[in-house]
Each structure stands twice: as structure tokens, then as C-alpha cells.
Structure 1
Amino acid sequence: MIPDSKVPHAIAFSAPHKQAADIGLTVLREGGSAVDAMIAAAAAITVLYPHMNSLAGDGFWLIHKPGAAPRAIDACGCAAQLASIDWYHSQGFKQIPSRGALATVTMGGTLAGWQKARDIAAESSTQLPLSRLLTPAIQLARDGVLVTHSLAAASRKVQAEMAEQAEYQRVFMPKGRPLVEGEILTNPDLAATLNTLATQGLDSAYCGELAAHIATQLEQLGSPLRLSDLQHYRAQEVKPLSVQTRFGQCFNLPAPTQGVASLLILAIYDRLFKPEWDEAARVHGLIEATKLAFLVRDREVADPRRLSERWNDLLDDAHIDQLAAVITERALPWPQVAEPGDTVWMGCVDSSGTMVSFIQSIYWEFGSGVVVPGTGLVWNNRGVGFSLEAGHRNALAPGYKPFHTLNPAFALLNDGRRISYGTMGGEGQPQTQAALLSRYLYDGRALDDAISRGRWLLGRTWGDNNHDLKMEQDLVDLLGNNLRERGHALKAVPARSEIMGHAGAVVSLGDGNAIAASDPRSDGVGVVGNVVATMQERAQ
């Protein structure tokens, strides 16, 4: 059943911070589009969660209009033209530094992604002015936000690493110490930057006076990025990847993201699943599917120009069947090297039924730690994903994109439901997506229970360097003995631990109603509402 775009749809928004969700829902209530609402919330959450994302980070979009094919946007920043293996080797580096100016290797693509999304939305609807969308974020940056537990913890964690970052300390350690939960944090420079974007357009970050200022400051700090890199950057519309399961079609982003791994986990699990399985068997199946998907990902995912001849066959039935046949009741050996990441995911549906699944990130907590003077912008350190080894699958090269953990997800179900879902959490993103979707669809759990129930994490997540199988204590208490008998070595972590990521989902039902949920491990909420004003009414 295909949702009718003429039937009024309930509006809904899910975000890992309540204020961001409320801002998004307010735009939807005013009759704004899903893209309008997402940009307003995305701008706000860069202020509310500065340790997780930034206007100088990366972003990815999945946009679905009822009756049409999903459309995807890749707003991943590419490496500077001056950034090369020899450039780093000549300065004595065998790997790209994780912090400081030499970590600012790649463009921040998220603003270009916002513009590309606006261009797509403008094909079928009138867009609200940027000034309306960015005003809430401007006010938050100017007047201050309440420091959350998550932000305070990240501030404490990176204190030593940021000792040499003067502008970081000025903005994010205004009292000469890490941030404390409950105090107010302002960023007037970021408010001014947002105001420039609102008045001069999003492109001003790449081609205007703002771009020239950013480039000058980065060069003076020692970054390889130059104004020409900003001027030539473009976000790209790309064809999403998809797989078919018994419940419907699942979509995700192509390389350089790990979207292929997210889809492989679901497809392998769909092949294996038996309704009579108990919960331990279901979790075991998902963990084992994850291992195989990660092995494929680590061998195959890279800049799109470096993909192997096998790439187009990775989601074919024959390959999925081959992978599924490897899984038995015994756990496969692990670990493998994993990838970290700091990210926000948000999703929404507007009154026309258009849905968005969106993710943006600066990679590690506070990214490179470089705050561009006079802008309040925290620059990403996504370039850490490059290798300085010639011939490596992800070798650094000018203009190339690094491997990305980011991958927003979307599902178009046979019964007419559509699901926008995702999470932050590095390696945990594909696993949490699979846990969420399998619990909701295969286990029949309520959406909020599917998200809040105890989770596991194979490999490394944000703020963590271990590659083991971590499991929240409440799930260990329930399933631990059974899983250990199958050969899993478990490490218990506290229940509802933030290392398991901040998941969320919005479901548009076939009858036009909607439900939304957000992770209790975050500061977020899923909100559903009604439209109180249309674009035409506001114009009168």
C-alpha cells in the first residue's frame, strides 16, 4: 500500500535533544516542510549539542515524498587540495593527528547539504525563509543553552587534549575549567555566523565574506584547507542503496558511508530469522550478521572512486545468501578494528507525508578542537578516517572522501508504514538500527520499547577504544548465560548507557497518523502534533 499524498498526515519529529525536537515540530505546525523543520532543528542542535555536531561538520539526508522514490544527499566533506600523504610525511607524521589544525583536513559539508535539501524540497513546495529557520538557533547561541550531562561529560573528557586550543578554551571553557551540568553556555560568535547565513544565504559559508574569513583563519592556524577548497565544494544527490526484506524495502546511503553494512545486517537477519526464536537467539543472529557485514564493509567501503568491481553485487540475493550460510549457533571469532564517531540523528514527517532521515557529525567529541576565531564554528576531524599509507583503501588524496560511519536509514513497508530511523554512535549505528527495526517489526514491540530496551555493541563507539562485545546490564541479566554458552564474550556496561548511542524513529502509518520516539539515553524526545497554520494562511 502506497501512502496517498493527498491525505492529511500527522506531523512528528524525533531528536536527541528536546529543544531541537520542539523547534522542528513548531516549524511543522506552522505548515513548514519536513526539510524546513529539519534545517531549523539541525541549526539548533549545533548549539545545544556542540560536542556532537557543528555547522563545520558533515551531513547526510534521506528524503521521501509519498508515491516517489527516496532521494539521498551526500554532504560529506572532501580532503583539501594541499592535503596529501607526502604533505603529512614531510612534517614527520605517520598518521593524521586527531586534534588541532592538522586534523582539519576535510571540508565541512553539512551547510551545502542543507541547501541541496532546500533545492529538492522547492521542486514541490514553498520553502520558509532561512531567517525563520535559523532564528531559534541564533537566539540559543546568543542567550545561552543549558549544559546537559552529555555535554559536561564530553567537556571533561577532552580537557587535556584541548590544552593547546586557545579558541576552544575561550568558547567552551569560559571559566577556565570544563563545563558543568546545569550552567549556561553562550556562543555569540556562532550567533553572528548563523545570522550571516540567514541574511546572505547558506552558500556564504563557501563563497562569501564568511568563507574568506574561515579560510584565512584556518590557514593561519596551519590547516591545509584554503578558500578554493570551500569555493569548489558541492553536496551531491546520490542514489540510495536498498534491500528487500519480508516487511518491505530498507534504504540507506552509499559509499563512503557504512550504509551498506546497515543494510547487510538487516538482509542477513531476514534470511536467518525464525518466528520461534527466543530473544537470545534473535540477539545472537543480529550480532553474527553484524560481524559478517562489518567484514564486508571494512574490505569494500571507500571513496566512491575507489570501489571494487564487487560493489554492485554486495546487496544481491546470492551474496546475502552466501553470508547468511556462514552463521551457526556458535559465535564467530572477533574483534576487528572499529571506528568511533560523534553524531546526531533526527527524523520527521510533515503534513504532506514527506519524511526526512537526517544525520550530521563532527566525528569525535568537539571534532578537531579547532574553533575558527570569530565564527564560533567547531571544525570536524573526519580526516582521521584517512590512512597515510600509499595504496590503502582509504589513503589520503586531495579531493577524496574518507570512510564515514554516518548513515541515516529509512524503510518503506509493505503495509503502508514508512519509518525514518537512525542513531549516533560510530560502529554502533548499524547495530542499533538493526536492533531498533528488528524489535519493532520482527518482535512486534512498541516503538519506544524497541528503542529503550537493553542493547549491545560490537566494537567501538564514540568516546571508546575497545573492540569487545559490550552489553547493557539489564540485557546481560536476561540473556547473558545463553549468549555465553553460544561463545560470546560479554562485557557488561550500565543499563541505558550513553555509549550505546542516541537512537530515534518516526513512523508514518498508512492511515496518515504518526508515532515518534527518542532514546532515553539522550536528552531527546519524540513528539507528534497537528498543523495549526498553513503556508497560505500565514501569507494572508
Structure 2
Amino acid sequence: MYNVPPPTQGVASLAILKLFEKLNVQEVDGFAYVHGLVEATKHAFLFRNAHVGDPRWMTEDAQAFLDDDARFDAMAARIDPHRAMPWPAPSQMGDTTWMGAVDSAGVAVSMIQSLYFEFGSGVFLPQTGLLWQNRGASFQLEEGAWNAFVPGRKPFHTLNPALARFDDGRVMVYGTMGGEGQPQTQAALFTRYAMFGVPVQQAVTAPRWLLGRTWGSNSHSLKIESRFDAGVVDWLEQAGHVVERVAPFTSMMGHAGAIVRHAGGLLEGAADPRSDGCVAGF
């Protein structure tokens, strides 16, 4: 598994998957699956929110955290399989596009681009026609804060395109737009495909969830697409999740995509029906 290092939230995306694996969930898209990934997200985000920023200023090493099995065992033990941990915690948002490419030689690229807000910082460079991005908005103004506004410091940001290599020779590039939802959608897509054998397009199309705020909303609820089985949603509510049912294919769940290159050279791709993206070969 590969993701990008701090100051991005790539460590959170990897932590969700490692923590979820320790929960030993047996069935895809049931209560235990959704609940387990949501709770794993909460614990990963707590670490992210407390520690991840410019690596020159961090007091925790991201790779050492991911390698600490005992710490993850303890985190998994704190996850109640029947009850939701209280939430919210501060969230991040953004305006983003993910894209992936694999060439005939097998070179694979997972890429993401963002201005953060529709027009970034609003600063336009007339010589080039480019807008400056706005990731400085994630800085905190409180002195001594984990992501404090300090000269020369890189801001925390949410961009984290993902890539995976499998023991059988497959290579997978995948990702999504969606700020706070990026690690959550990555977790849904990868676990469905890699752990439960769901075909890659079906893994992208399948109903998704989002914990936390979305653009233009102050709600920290657990948003669930209405295509989920009603019994699963009812069970989540009974477990203490504050559930908000949303449209069956809503852009708030991100615009995901993936390409898988098999060992023999076969390529398969998936585009999100929530978006205007597509898969193309040439």
C-alpha cells in the first residue's frame, strides 16, 4: 500500500485500512463493515488532527505510527463493535480532481489536483493565467497549535492519491476528490475490491457513506446513500450513529476512480457514476 506523506492526510488513509483489517469483518456492506470502517476513520482522524502537518514540525513519525502493531491493537480494542464513538472532530474540505493512468509498459500514476475552494485563493497570475491554491486556509491561528501559522511552514492538506501492489502482480491506482471524504472513499473502494473480491467498477459504484462536514454544510452526521439496505441503516442508528440519509448517487460522496493492471498486462478501469469522469484507452 502506498500513499503520500505529511503534510497530507495519506497516513490517515493507510491507518483506516490497517485498523479495519484488525476488526476481522467477514461480510461486505453489512452493519459490521460500515460501522467498522466509520469507527476506524474516527481513530485515524484523531491521530491526523493531533499530529499531521509539516513533517519538520511533527512530534510523531508517520511511518513509525503505521508500523506500531501494538498501538493499532490497542486502537482496535477501543472500537466497540456495537456502539458508535461520540463525534465530531474538526474537519477539512476542498475542491479536487483525481486521475490515474497506466501505460503499456506498466508505469502507473495516481494523481490529484486541487485549488481548495472553487477559485483557490482568488489570486490570479496574469502572466500565466493560473490561480494560486488556497491550502493556507488550514493553518490555525492559535499559538502553539499543531498546525500553527508559522513562516516557512507547510500547511496540512487533504490530497492523498493512492496506489497498491498485490502479491499476484496486480497494481492498482485509485483515489477520489472530497476533502474529508477522501480516506473514507478510498477505504470503501479498496476493501471492497481487495478484501472482499468485488469487481472494481462495482466497488466504485456501490453505495457509500461520509462521516463529517460537506461543502456548504455544518452537519457532522454520518451521511448514507439511500441505496444501502434499510436494515443496515437502522442498525447504525441503533448503535448511536447520527445518520442522515442522502440521495442514491450524490456528489458529496466524492468522484472516485481506479485502474487495475493485471500481471499479464490486462487493464481494467472504473469511473464514478456520481461524476462526469470516464475510463479511456488509447
TM-score (norm 1): 0.50
Tell me, in whole angstroms, the C-alpha distance in 2 between the residues paired with 1:459 and 1:353.
Answer: 37
Aligned to 1:520: 273
Superposition pairs for residues 194-233 of structure 1, below 5 Å?
none
Q: Which residue, out of 205, 210, 218, partners 1:465? A: 218
C-alpha RMSD of the superposition = 1.7
Q: Which residue, out of 72, 78, 82, partners 1:320? A: 72
- Please, which moves more after superposition, 418-427 or 319-328? 319-328
Aligned to 1:346: 99
Tell me, in whole angstroms, the C-alpha distance in 2 between the residues paired with 1:378 and 1:309.
Answer: 34
Q: Which residue, out of 166, 188, 196, partners 1:443? A: 196
Tell me, in whole angstroms, the C-alpha distance in 1 between the residues paired with 2:29 and 2:205.
Answer: 19
Aligned to 1:229: none
Larger Rg: 1
Q: Retained in 1: the 8 A contact 2:25–2:32?
A: no
Aligned to 2:175: 422
Tell me, in whole angstroms, the C-alpha distance in 1 between the residues paired with 2:157 and 2:244.
Answer: 26
Aligned to 1:400: 153
Q: Retained in 1: the 8 A contact 2:174–2:258?
A: yes
Q: Which residue, out of 501, 505, 510, partners 2:254? A: 501
1:300 aligns with 2:37: no
- Which residue identity lines up with residue 466 of structure 1 in the other structure? S
Tell me, in whole angstroms, the C-alpha distance in 2 between the residues paired with 1:511 and 1:372.
Answer: 46
- Which residue identity lines up with residue 286 of structure 1 in the other structure? L
Q: Retained in 2: the 8 A contact 1:357–1:410?
A: yes
Stretches of structure 2 that go unaligned for 5 or more consecutive residues are none
Q: Retained in 1: the 8 A contact 2:51–2:60?
A: no
Could you tell me how far 1:425 is from its partner in structure 2? Answer: 0.4
Could you tell me how far 1:478 is from its partner in structure 2? Answer: 5.5
Tell me, in whole angstroms, the C-alpha distance in 2 between the residues paired with 1:276 and 1:502.
Answer: 25
Q: SS of the residue aligned with 1:430?
A: helix
Q: SS of the residue aligned with 2:235?
A: helix
Aligned to 2:84: 331
Q: Retained in 2: the 8 A contact 1:463–1:499?
A: no
Tell me, in whole angstroms, the C-alpha distance in 2 between the residues paired with 1:425 and 1:364.
Answer: 12
String of CA shifts for 1:173-228, please: whole Å, max 9, x gaps. Answer: xxxxxxxxxxxxxxxxxxxxxxxxxxxxxxxxxxxxxxxxxxxxxxxxxxxxxxxx
Q: Which residue, out of 360, 364, 378, partners 2:117? A: 364
Q: SS of the residue aligned with 2:154?
A: coil
Q: SS of the residue aligned with 1:411?
A: strand
Q: SS of the residue aligned with 2:190?
A: helix
- Which residue identity lines up with residue 487 of structure 1 in the other structure? G
Superposition pairs for residues 109-120 of structure 1, below 5 Å?
none
Aligned to 1:269: 20
Q: Which residue, out of 141, 165, 172, partners 1:412? A: 165
String of CA shifts for 1:223-270, please: whole Å, max 9, x gaps. Answer: xxxxxxxxxxxxxxxxxxxxxxxxxxx111111000010000000111
Structure number with greater CO (CA < 8 Å, separation at least 6) is 1
Aligned to 2:42: 291
Tell me, in whole angstroms, the C-alpha distance in 2 between the residues paired with 1:468 and 1:506.
Answer: 31
Q: Retained in 2: the 8 A contact 1:255–1:302?
A: yes
String of CA shifts for 1:404-444, please: whole Å, max 9, x gaps. Answer: 10001011111211110000101000000000011112222
Tell me, in whole angstroms, the C-alpha distance in 2 between the residues paired with 1:297 and 1:498.
Answer: 24
1:488 aligns with 2:241: yes
Identical columns (%): 54
Q: Retained in 1: the 8 A contact 2:28–2:192?
A: no
Q: Retained in 2: the 8 A contact 1:273–1:282?
A: no
Q: Which residue, out of 118, 140, 152, partners 1:387? A: 140
Tell me, in whole angstroms, the C-alpha distance in 2 between the residues paired with 1:495 and 1:361.
Answer: 26
Q: Retained in 2: the 8 A contact 1:501–1:521?
A: yes
Assess, with a 3 A threshold, how the Cα gap between structure 1 residues 378 and 332 changes in structure 2: closer, same or farther.
same
Q: SS of the residue aligned with 1:438?
A: helix
Could you tell me how far 1:507 is from its partner in structure 2? Answer: 0.3
Assess, with a 3 A threshold, how the Cα gap between structure 1 residues 352 and 478 changes in structure 2: closer, same or farther.
farther
Could you tell me how far 1:392 is from its partner in structure 2? Answer: 1.1
Q: Retained in 1: the 8 A contact 2:3–2:160?
A: yes
- Which residue identity lines up with residue 99 of structure 2 in the other structure? M
1:281 aligns with 2:32: yes
Assess, with a 3 A threshold, how the Cα gap between structure 1 residues 367 and 277 changes in structure 2: closer, same or farther.
closer
Tell me, in whole angstroms, the C-alpha distance in 1 between the residues paired with 2:267 and 2:29.
Answer: 29
Aligned residues: 280
Tell me, in whole angstroms, the C-alpha distance in 1 between the residues paired with 2:91 and 2:25.
Answer: 30
Assess, with a 3 A threshold, how the Cα gap between structure 1 residues 479 and 252 changes in structure 2: closer, same or farther.
same
Q: Retained in 2: the 8 A contact 1:425–1:462?
A: no
Tell me, in whole angstroms, the C-alpha distance in 1 between the residues paired with 2:175 and 2:65.
Answer: 22
String of CA shifts for 1:500-540, please: whole Å, max 9, x gaps. Answer: 111010101121101011111111012245xxxxxxxxxxx
1:453 aligns with 2:206: yes
String of CA shifts for 1:256-305, please: whole Å, max 9, x gaps. Answer: 00001000000011111232576221111111100100001111101111
Q: Larger helix proportion, structure 1 or 2?
A: 1
Q: Retained in 2: the 8 A contact 1:337–1:467?
A: no
Tell me, in whole angstroms, the C-alpha distance in 2 between the residues paired with 1:435 and 1:309.
Answer: 27
